[in-house]
Structure 1
Amino acid sequence: MRTKKYSSYAQIDRELEILKIEKELSLQKLHFELQNVKENLEPKNLVRGVIGSYMPTILGPYGKIIGLALPFLKKFIFKKRGR
């Protein structure tokens, strides 16, 4: 790392402010990533991930068609129950 030379205290203050903001951004990114990890480790998401990865193998060529149709069928069924 090179040694920086400053000609005024204002430059030093500006550099410190930039470093402070960069630190806050890094902490926010870390917090966001930890939230993602926690969500991915929830049981429902683990099951969804395992089923999603094996679905094409199990269903073969019809897997994509069924995967696209399921949300529409789900909406249709819940609309019928709501009436």
Structure 2
Amino acid sequence: MKPKIYSSYEEIDRDLEILKLQKEIDVRKLALSMEKTLEGITPMGMVKNFLGNTGALLSKSDLLTGVMKSVVLPLLIRKFTKYME
């Protein structure tokens, strides 16, 4: 890679600012990625991933949401925790 030749301090400052912002974006992306990963390995996150689109469709109905929360999810969680042991 050919080194860049600067003709003014303003150019250097501009590139340093760009690099600083790129670093901040990368750090935030990493933090968000870690957050999503940790969320995905919780039991509720695993159930959500398992259900996928079906869970999203079912969550739109209040009646089905109540049934899911009170009956189906506890059963799935119990089965999953037994499987993990």
Which TM-score tier does this pair reach, normalised by the shorter chain? 0.5 to 0.7
**Are 1:26 and 2:39 counterparts?**
no
How big is each residue's C-alpha offset from its partner over 1:16-51, in whole Å with a ceiling of 9 and x where there is no partner? 11101110011011111111111111111112323x
Give 1:40's aligned residue: 40
Q: TM-score, normalised by structure 1?
A: 0.61
Provide closer, same or farther for how the CA distance between residues 74 and 11 of structure 1 changes in structure 2, counting only shifts above 3 A. Answer: same
Separation in 2, partners of 1:75, 1:33:
28
Give 1:73's aligned residue: 63
Which fold has the larger relative contact order, with Cα–Cα distance below 8 Å and residues 6 or more apart in sequence?
2
CA RMSD of aligned residues (A): 2.7
Aligned length: 64
- The Cα of 1:10 is off from its aligned counterpart by 1.4
Indicate if the aligned counterparts of 2:58 and 2:64 stay in contact, CA closer than 8 A: no
Q: TM-score, normalised by structure 2?
A: 0.60
Gaps of 5+ in 2: 68-85
Separation in 1, partners of 2:3, 2:18:
17
Separation in 1, partners of 2:59, 2:28:
38
Task: Say which one has the larger Rg.
Answer: 1
Gaps of 5+ in 1: 54-63, 78-83
